Each structure stands twice: as C-alpha cells, then as structure tokens.
Copies of this chain bind each other. A is one copy, B any other.
C-alpha cells in the first residue's frame, strides 16, 4: 500500500503535463505515418489517416497508457520510453478510427471534428471508411511489433486487451447500442451499459494496457481496471452535465441544453444533482482503487489522482 500521501498536483500542472505527453505521442504518430508513406502505401490513404489522427486531440487515452505504466514502474521522466509511446499511439489510432467512422453520414453525419472538416468531407466517404479501417489495423500492427516490447507475452496480451475493448463486446457494441437508443427508451441500466461500452471500455483498457506494458501483476491490473471504469463513468456523466448546463462559449460546441431529458444519459435518468453526486462517487472509487496499488510511484499516483478530480471540475 502507498503509505504516504502522494504530492498534490494542481490543474494547471496536470494540463501542462498532459500537453507535453500529447506532443510525444503526436511526434511518434507523425513518424509512423511518414514511414508508411515512404514504404509504398497509398499516399492519399496515409494522408487521410494522419489528417484524422493528428488533429490536436487531448490524448487522454495516451495519457492513461503512460499513467498505467508509470504508476507501476515509476518512470517519471518527461521523455517516455519508445515502447510505451508506441502503446499510447496505438490506442490513439484506435480512438481516431472510431471518430472517423462515427462522423460518417450513415452514423452521426458530423461536418466538423475539432473545428476542422471531418475526414469524409476533407477527403471523401470511401477514403474515410478506408482510413478508419486502416487506423484500426495500424493499432494492432503497432502493438504486435517487437519494437513495442521485447516480451512476446506482453505484446500478445496488449493486442488482446485492445481487441476486447474495441470489439462487439466493447466499443463497437456500445456504438450499436447507442444507435438502438435512438429508436426506443433505454432503462437506466441499459444506458449505463451502453456508455460503459461505447466510451468506457477504451478508457479503461488504456490504463490497463499501460499496466500490462509495465508488467503489473493481476492484483494491480484489477485496481487499474477499477480506476479506469470509474474514471470512464465520471467522464461520461461530466460530459452529459456539460451538455445540459455548460457554457457554450467555453465548451466550444453547440450544447443540447434543452433536450437532455429524453436522452439515454445518466443525467436524464437521475436528474442533474443526483448525476453530479454519482460522478463524485465514481471519482472517489477511482482514487480508492489507485490507493490499493502496492508500491505505486508517487508522482504518477498524484497525476492519476488529479486526472480523476479534474474530470468533474473541468468546464470544457
């Protein structure tokens, strides 16, 4: 057990560190795309993949990958090991693929993503479908490559971890349930399951993958999983609260203030106050799980703790 209180980390300090780590991830992603372009892959396809991936995302999933490894193996340096950066990049590729396909006309039909035309508008629909497909493949190619980790077992486990989170019993299944939620009223438990799969599974898997990379034992992986699930829940509720009562000027996108009541969200089921309390409860659960990781590294413990707090205090 971590006997000492971890050092406290302010929001600004955390944001800065997340930004610095995002830069590392983006640099590696850029190098990976450049490498493919130089090796006879279709230039247009790789360009579309890079366009949709290198778009100024906050790289929260990458940060959770770094955090899951850091809290186990105590590496605090600003420059992450090459291998863990590859794991982080793989999770961001998987996430980027899901956003490209989410934005397609047959799905959310979104015209913009992070203020830029979505991939199918910047290129075309066929290219966007293929770019998403190839980004998913790339995520698994990166994880399985010996360059990521010298231990074969860990690489195979990382692939299985990501595949379990992304597939029909994870993210893709959650997206399907989300489509079904438009056609009939979801119960509270159905809503929770949908959200746990659609966004929670990949968030959870990110921090667990970091732990796997660092060789965490089963007990620690279980705590990381509990942390990730709780953070994922809190994250989703906070998003829905922002959508219901946030400041459009700060959030930077149109909000659905007037129609949150009918939606498949916990806010709609519980109301604003109870939803906020539930998010706070999840943050407590997340921090308790961190506290149960033996020999955890203090600095990364502080960062993951601050990240959990930050989720429900953020304004955008």
Asked if A39 lies at the interface with its beta carbon under 8 angstroms from chain B, I say yes
With A126-B179, A140-B163 given, name 20 new contacts (CB 8 A).
Answer: A36-B168, A36-B169, A39-B169, A40-B169, A42-B168, A46-B168, A104-B129, A106-B126, A133-B136, A134-B168, A137-B166, A137-B168, A137-B170, A143-B159, A144-B156, A144-B157, A144-B159, A155-B156, A156-B159, A159-B159
Asked if A289 lies at the interface with its beta carbon under 8 angstroms from chain B, I say no
Asked if A18 lies at the interface with its beta carbon under 8 angstroms from chain B, I say no
Asked if A49 lies at the interface with its beta carbon under 8 angstroms from chain B, I say yes
Contacts of A251 in B (CB 8 A): none
Asked if A175 lies at the interface with its beta carbon under 8 angstroms from chain B, I say yes
Most chain B beta-carbon neighbours within 10 Å: one of A144, A153, A174: A144
Range for the number of chain A residues in contact with chain B: 35 or more
Tell me how far the C-beta of A213 lies from the nearest C-beta in chain B, rounded to whole angstroms.
14
User: Can you offer 10 A-B residue contacts whose CB atoms are under 8 A?
Assistant: A106-B124, A129-B129, A134-B167, A136-B137, A137-B167, A141-B164, A144-B163, A152-B153, A156-B156, A159-B159
Question: What separation, in Å, do the CA atoms of A100 and B151 have in the docked complex?
Answer: 35
Question: What separation, in Å, do the CA atoms of A305 and B57 have in the docked complex?
Answer: 52
- Tell me whether chain A's interface is mostly helix, strand or loop, or mixed: helix
Can you tell how many copies of this chain the complex includes?
2
Are A163 and B134 closer than 8 Å at their CB atoms? Answer: no
Asked if A20 lies at the interface with its beta carbon under 8 angstroms from chain B, I say no
Asked if A211 lies at the interface with its beta carbon under 8 angstroms from chain B, I say no
Q: Known contacts A173-B41, A173-B45: does B129 contact A106 (CB below 8 Å)?
A: yes
Are A44 and B176 closer than 8 Å at their CB atoms? Answer: yes
Most chain B beta-carbon neighbours within 10 Å: one of A97, A133, A146, A175: A133
Contacts of A304 in B (CB 8 A): none
Are B106 and A173 closer than 8 Å at their CB atoms? Answer: no
Contacts of A143 in B (CB 8 A): 159
